[in-house]
Amino acid sequence: MRAIITARSETDDEVELTALPDPRPAAGQIRIRMAGAAVNAADLHIIDNARGEAGAGGPAPRLGLGLDVAGVVDAVGPGVRGLTVGTPVAALTFPHAPYSAAGAAAEYVIVPAADAAPVPDGVDLLDAATVPLNSLTAAQLLALLGPAQGRRLLVTGAAGGVGGHAVALAARAGWQVTGLARATDHTFLTRAGAEKTCTTLDGESGFDAVLDTALLNEAALRAVRDNGAYAGVFPGLEPASERGISVSSAVVVPDGILLREMLALTAQGVLEPRRAGTVPLDKAAHAYRAFRAGGHRGRWVLTN
Ligand SMILES: NC(=O)c1ccc[n+]([C@@H]2O[C@H](COP(=O)([O-])OP(=O)(O)OC[C@H]3O[C@@H](n4cnc5c(N)ncnc54)[C@H](OP(=O)(O)O)[C@@H]3O)[C@@H](O)[C@H]2O)c1
């Protein structure tokens, strides 16, 4: 099969297309014929880590890229119940999977059946490919902040992949959401359910909680009231607690049951899938370059 992996360090492009043996699902796993695979910030971290190792004198590791996949089940391993060949599904590939030979940016993707969820009627598979990583991250980080109950939540990076999903999920759960993003994103934030929008943290204070997807760290913490809550996206990089604020962070974990809920919310229009662009696997380098350049809204999606 064709798969996207990190490039040799001496090449100009960050990624390259390679040929790998077709994978076969083991017990409890399904094989997805990929229709769409989103490019995420995590892919850039994988590329940078590979280059770092090469720069340190080691051999350039060739790592599979892609954490988000949508497609059609085309083989199932022994013991799989509930997902059959031909079912359209989406999945977050386990975060450690890209560090092996192939990730989601490949013709065929193996995932535990428990990590996948059917894509509901009416949701385009290319849109579905943008849902797993960002919605699961948003949902799992929001869960760290306690009950909504009309409390005030600030989301930084609110127009981003994680932030945009967080605004919509939090508003639906009953938070009073303020989204921090550029002025040009405020229409999107309002549509997602934000009650207020801001472009800087100047004058912003007294929030019960902050979900800091833009890694503003201490500056974001200052906007939280005493004994409030802070959730960050990078364990180890979060600010130190002060004024009794609970500081937490987490790495997303695959969860097929929660993903089923996220895809249902997508079908209902609560979550808005956003695509920056779509390119076939053999033109994938363009998508990683464009994502690296920034300014994207939504996700670049690689197609088979
Ligand atoms: N914990 C986990 O498991 C997990 C999972 C997924 C992602 N992440 C991490 O979460 C972060 C966000 O990911 P993402 O996919 O949402 O990224 P994204 O789609 O690129 O969005 C990031 C957003 O943050 C904004 N931003 C960046 N720096 C800012 C600043 N100084 N002030 C205000 N806004 C700023 C950007 O705004 P502009 O575009 O306008 O600059 C952008 O809208 C990344 O660091 C990613 O690695 C963690």
158/223 same-domain check: yes
Banded pLDDT at 100 (limits 50, 70, 90): low
Considering the entire predicted model, what is its pTM? Answer: 0.96
- Is the residue at 44 inside a domain? yes
Q: Could you tell me which residue, 60 or 176, shows the higher pLDDT?
A: 176
- Is the residue at 260 inside a domain? no
Minimum mean pLDDT among 9-23, 65-79, 122-136, 197-211: which range?
9-23
Give the residue, by CA position, lying nearest to ligand 1 atom 32: 214
Host H or E run for residue 197: strand 196-198
Residue 229: beta bridge partners? 209, 246
Mean pLDDT, all residues of the chain:
94
- Is the residue at 261 inside a domain? no
* C-alpha 19 to ligand 1 mean position (Å): 32
Minimum mean pLDDT among 59-68, 85-94, 97-106, 236-245: which range?
97-106
Minimum mean pLDDT among 35-39, 97-101, 126-130: which range?
97-101
- Is the residue at 34 inside a domain? yes
* C-alpha 225 to ligand 1 mean position (Å): 23
Host H or E run for residue 75: strand 68-76
Residues having CB closer than 6 A to ligand 1 are: 40-42, 133-134, 137, 157, 159-163, 181-182, 213-215, 233, 250-252, 294-295
70/6 same-domain check: yes
Give the residue, by CA position, lying nearest to ligand 1 atom 38: 295
Banded pLDDT at 24 (limits 50, 70, 90): very high
For the chain, the distance separating the N- and C-terminal CA atoms, rounded to the nearest angstrom, is 10
Give the domain extent around 179.
134-249
Banded pLDDT at 54 (limits 50, 70, 90): low
Output the pLDDT for position 55. Answer: 67
- Residue written as token pair 């099969």: 1
Distance of alpha carbon 221 from alpha carbon 216, whole angstroms: 8
Banded pLDDT at 131 (limits 50, 70, 90): very high
Question: Contacts by 180-188 with C-beta closer than 8 Å and gap 24+?
Answer: 180/154, 180/155, 180/156, 180/204, 180/214, 181/157, 185/158, 185/159, 185/297, 188/159, 188/164, 188/272, 188/297
Residue 279, domain CATH: 3.90.180.10
189/150 same-domain check: yes
Output the pLDDT for position 11. Answer: 67
89/164 same-domain check: no
Mean pLDDT across the stretch 35-53? 90
Residue 161, domain CATH: 3.40.50.720
- Is the residue at 70 inside a domain? yes
124/145 same-domain check: no
163/278 same-domain check: no
Q: What percent of the chain has pLDDT over 90?
A: 89
Q: Is the pLDDT of residue 240 over 80?
A: yes
Quote the number of domains for the chain. Answer: 2
- Is the residue at 241 inside a domain? yes
Mean pLDDT across the stretch 187-206? 98
82/160 same-domain check: no
120/139 same-domain check: no
- Is the residue at 170 inside a domain? yes
Q: Which of 48, 154, 156, 162 to mutate to test the pocket of ligand 1 (most atoms within 8 A of CB)?
A: 162
279/241 same-domain check: no
Output the pLDDT for position 50. Answer: 83
Q: Is the pLDDT of residue 31 over 50?
A: yes
- Is the residue at 265 inside a domain? no
32/56 same-domain check: yes
Mean pLDDT across the stretch 4-27? 88
112/174 same-domain check: no
Q: Could you tell me which residue, 257 or 51, shows the higher pLDDT?
A: 257
One-letter identity of residue 223: A
Output the pLDDT for position 97. Answer: 45
Banded pLDDT at 98 (limits 50, 70, 90): very low
Output the pLDDT for position 96. Answer: 47
234/203 same-domain check: yes
The residue out of 234, 249, 264 marking a domain boundary is 249
Q: Is the pLDDT of residue 56 over 50?
A: yes
Contact 130, 299 (CB under 8 A): yes
Output the pLDDT for position 13. Answer: 84
Banded pLDDT at 49 (limits 50, 70, 90): confident
